[in-house]
Amino acid sequence: MTAKTDSPADINTSPFTYERLYSLDALRGFDMFWILGGEEIFHALAKVTGSPFWGRISNQLTHPDWNGFHLYDLIFPLFLFLAGVATPYSTGRELEKGASKGQLVLRVIKRAVILILLGILVNNTIKELKPIHEIRFASVLGRIGIAYMFANFIYLYANRKWQIAWFWLFIVGYWLLLKFTSAPGYLPGDLTMPGNFASYADRLILPGKLYLGIHDPEGLFSTIPAISTGLLGVLAGTLLKTGHQHQGRKALILAVAGALFLIIAQVWNLDFPINKNLWTSSFVMQVGGLSLLLLAFFYYVIDVLGYQSWAFFFKVIGMNSILIYISSKFINWNYATAGFFGWLGDWVGKPYNIVVMAVCFVVVKWMFLYFLYRKKAFLKV
């Protein structure tokens, strides 16, 4: 690998930060790659080969039905974690430039509202006006917006010690609440889909429909521990931006913290199962540990050692991540892929044509993002 250094003009083009962390955009892009279409490549490989090896990888790119953990569960919380990492560089930078906390609070609220509205748009058809009971209000973007908002409030008004205290307060409080409560008719501590208190609370307070009828994996109540996921990112970002340690030592601190989080997650799992649907406290520790390890690796390789060129593919995705996430509401990517590369799939023939077309699907999306990157056109939220 060869080191690549961006020009000053490149450094300030991101919609997320003013000071450049190449690794932050790259890791965000790596995260989004899998839902951009990367997972379909491995599903296709598993299908056409019947190989246990590809089958195991394909299985990791699915969500467990309830308890348990697959690597695909990391995508959503990693994105929220990275939004937290960006906070000291974006919100913190505005503070340094003289913006008042009140101004920044309003800006954060605005971003949260936009993300909530975009989430509703992604979840529901825009062809016709639906009655409220047919609209799904909870969403991935909505949870990111709400958790990001509260994490930023805490960042603005609490010092480092209190930020750490709030991190633990949310997940310990959530654990105790679900441990000693339940839906009516169930024993305290019931964590089944119909019996747990978080799903019951969503059934009471969330308007519209829930994704699974009686439960929504992006429900309002289980957003409480998700705030800790965002806060963990804030703490990591603060370390990278303002810590006095050598850059390599910062990466080591992140890695060691990540390993400790994974150990705590496995212990906590014995009493409070790792469960993405409920965003359990053990899940927060599990995805937090993996997020810290990934950030440590990307930061050390890219920003400390200076090896950047290999990550350019991911950076292009990461700098327009929200745009590509919502793009399927406006662009028929399957049609575009068939238009550009249908001939290639026909030439390859069955069964491997589905693998080739899955790769081409990613290529078409990436070229679209690369065009925007070259034009310095980014969706800012």
Residue 168 phi, psi dihedral angles, 5° rounding: -75, -35
Contact predicate 113/145, CB 8 Å: yes
Contacts of 256 (CB under 8 A, 6+ apart): none
Q: What is the pLDDT at residue 354? A: 93
SS (H, E, C) 90-132: HHHHHHHCCCCHHHHHHHHHHHHHHHHHHHHHHHCCCCCCCCH
Query: Would you give per-residue pLDDT tens digits along the chain (381 residues)?
Result: 334 444 333 333 333 434 568 999 999 999 999 999 999 999 999 999 999 999 999 999 999 999 999 999 999 999 999 999 999 998 888 888 888 999 999 999 999 999 999 999 888 876 667 788 888 999 999 999 999 999 999 999 999 999 999 999 999 999 999 999 999 999 999 999 999 999 999 999 999 999 999 999 999 999 999 999 999 999 999 999 986 778 899 999 999 999 999 999 999 999 999 999 999 999 999 999 999 999 999 999 999 999 999 999 999 999 999 999 999 888 899 889 889 888 888 898 888 999 999 999 999 999 999 999 999 988 887
Q: What is the pLDDT at residue 19? A: 56
Say how far apart CA 139 and CA 136 lie, in whole Å.
8
Closest by CA to 18, choosing from 119, 89, 106, is: 89
Rounded to two decimals, the pTM is 0.90
Q: What is the pLDDT at residue 127? A: 65
Cα 377 to the chain's mean position, in Å?
22
Say how far apart CA 68 and CA 282 lie, in whole Å.
11
pLDDT tens digits, 198-239:
999 999 999 999 999 999 999 999 999 999 999 999 999 999
pLDDT tens digits, 138-173:
999 999 999 999 999 999 999 999 999 999 999 999
Residue 103: CA atoms inside 13 Å, Cβ hemisphere, count? 8
Cis, bond preceding 77 (omega within 30 deg of 0)? no
Q: Give the position of tokens 């450094």.
A: 11
Residue 135 phi, psi dihedral angles, 5° rounding: -95, 135
3-class secondary-structure state, position 136: strand
Q: What is the pLDDT at residue 348? A: 85
Say how far apart CA 328 and CA 299 lie, in whole Å.
31
- Residue 194 CB coordination number (10 Å): 15
- Number of residues written out for the chain: 381
Q: What is the pLDDT at residue 15? A: 39
Residue 44: CA atoms inside 13 Å, Cβ hemisphere, count? 17
Q: What is the pLDDT at residue 4? A: 41
